[in-house]
Structure 1
Amino acid sequence: MSLLPQQLTKLHQLAMQQTPFPPLGQTNPAFPGEKLPLHSSEEAQNLMGQSSGLDASPPASTHELTIPNDLIGCIIGRQGTKINEIRQMSGAQIKIANATEGSSERQITITGTPANISLAQYLINARLTSEVTGMGAL
Structure 2
Amino acid sequence: MASPDGASGAEGGPEEPELSITLTLRMLMHGKEIGSIIGKKGETVKRIREQSSARITISEGSCPERITTITGSTDAVFRAVSMIAFKLEEDLGAGSADGAAAGRAPVTLRLVIPASQCGSLIGKAGAKIREIRESTGAQVQVAGDLLPNSTERAVTVSGVPDTIIQCVRQICAVILESPPKGATIPYHPGLSLGTIL
* TM-score scaled by length of structure 1: 0.52
Matches within 5 A, 1:1-138: 55=101, 57-100=103-146, 102-132=149-179
The structure carrying a bigger helix percent of its residues is: 2
Provide the C-alpha distance between the structure 1 equivalents of 2:175 and 2:107, rounded to a whole number of angstroms.
23
The DSSP-based 3-state class of the residue aligned with 2:168 is helix
3-state SS of paired residue (1:79)? helix
The structure number with the bigger radius of gyration is: 2
Deviation, structure 1 residue 129: 1.1
For the residues of structure 2 that align with 1:68 and 1:81, how far apart are their CA atoms? 19
The answer to whether the Cα contact below 8 Å between 1:94 and 1:108 also exists between their aligned partners in 2 is: yes
Letter in 1 for 2:106: A
CA distance in 2, matches of 1:102, 1:64: 18
1:98 CA displacement? 1.1
8 A Cα contact 1:58 1:114, kept in partner = no
Q: What is the match of residue 32 of structure 1?
A: none
1:21-57: per-residue Cα shift (whole Å, max 9, x none)? xxxxxxxxxxxxxxxxxxxxxxxxxxxxxxxxx6484
Tell me by how many angstroms 1:125 deviates: 0.2
Number of matched pairs:
80
TM-score norm. by structure 2 comes to 0.37
- Structure 2 alignment gaps of length 5 or more: 1-99, 180-197
Counterpart-to-counterpart distance in 2, 1:55 and 1:92: 21
Give the distance between the partners of 1:76 and 1:115, measured in 2 at CA: 22
Q: Flag the structure with higher strand content.
A: 2
Check conservation: 1:62, 1:112, Cα contact below 8 A. yes
Query: Over the residues paired in the alignment, what is the CA RMSD in angstroms?
Result: 2.1
Shift of 1:99: 2.2
Asked whether the equivalents of residues 59 and 113 of structure 1 are also in contact (C-alpha less than 8 Å), the reply is: yes
